Structure 1
Amino acid sequence: MTSKNRQSDSKDRDPILHVEDESSTQVIGVNGQEHHSPVEATVGVQKDTANETDLGLTIRRLRESRQLSLKEVAARSGLTQSFLSQVERNLTSPSVASLRKVAQAFGVPLTELFQGPVIPENRVVRRAERRQLIHPSRQWRDYLLTPSLTGKLQVILSVIEPGGGSGEEPYAHDSDEECVVILHGRLDFWVGPNQYLLEEGDSIVFESRIPHRNRNPGPEQAEVLWITTPPSY
């Protein structure tokens, strides 16, 4: 196939909507055509002991700084003590929904779990100064691109490995609007009851209060830009 033909095929490709059943994923194109692909296996949890990515230690320090026991955090968050203990020891990989519950139990935004120095209020965030949240299983990494946690706009760059994503439980947050842009790779994206396959260059806009989740179906690493206003992640 020539380069010209490939470009033509790319332009003619329809955006698609996924509807899942137990054995396969039914993909419905805008033109009404159906495609089927097998449901992919869930990626297993891998323990990460790197100090610079110690999410569990960050959570434990926040808990101890507030003089809270695991039992008290469990009561506030609706999560179990055993699960929270495993999270603090990096033995399990919490979903975004679970991390939000933990942050809410501490009375802080999820970005408080990002690691790295707090940048003085200015316009520029240097690449080496980005605050980051790295999941223990290394299935995704979030980088905060905006300098302030209290401004009117929040921009986050996510790098999501094949099979990685926010988790099976949808989450929502108190922002008016959110725009997601796929810089590289692909992303299965659920907003409410609807599922979309977003490919490189695609974007989606929705109300952040609608439960949503995502997963990288592979085969490549996905790079995703999240723009939220006002900040509430």
Structure 2
Amino acid sequence: MLSDAASTNGFETDLGARVRSLRRERGLTLKGLGRLAGLSHPFLSQVERGLAQPSVGSIERIAAALDVSVAHLWAPPRRGDAVRIVRHDEGTVDERADGVFREVPGEPGEPSLREWTARGRRWPAEPSVTRGEVAIYVARGAVEVDLDGTVQKLEEGDTLRFDGTIPHRLRRAGGTNTRALLVTS
């Protein structure tokens, strides 16, 4: 007869390894994680060793205690072959009145990255709306972001994060070489 550990598909072992790694990174003991998650430390030990099949509720509690998303616990670990350099001339370019957008190529399901090189100081006629969270990082210059009528000014090095369903548009507030990175998850 096969043991339960021998019959798993590796999911429990991978999940357990991620939980153990994150727990150790945060300097937590099994008991400490158990207190934060409201789960027993013997159960968490079994999870880490791939011997337990935690419920979705237990995984949600573990993720919250470790301050990560459930998807982060479930995602397969990144391998060395997942490393990719994207060169400055790669990606599709969309030239608009408000600037040049370069879509940085990535894998399906990964956050979308766009590099924005600003042109004028005029607002685009229409705001954008997108699903997911948007983060705008100003690499050079200064940018103003209109979030449904509220304008935020960002200086070089600033980042603005917001729900992409809020109508938004941006314009250059700094010099002619203003550049920002837009990330949509």
TM-score w.r.t. length of structure 2: 0.50
Flag the structure with larger Rg.
2
TM-score w.r.t. length of structure 1: 0.40
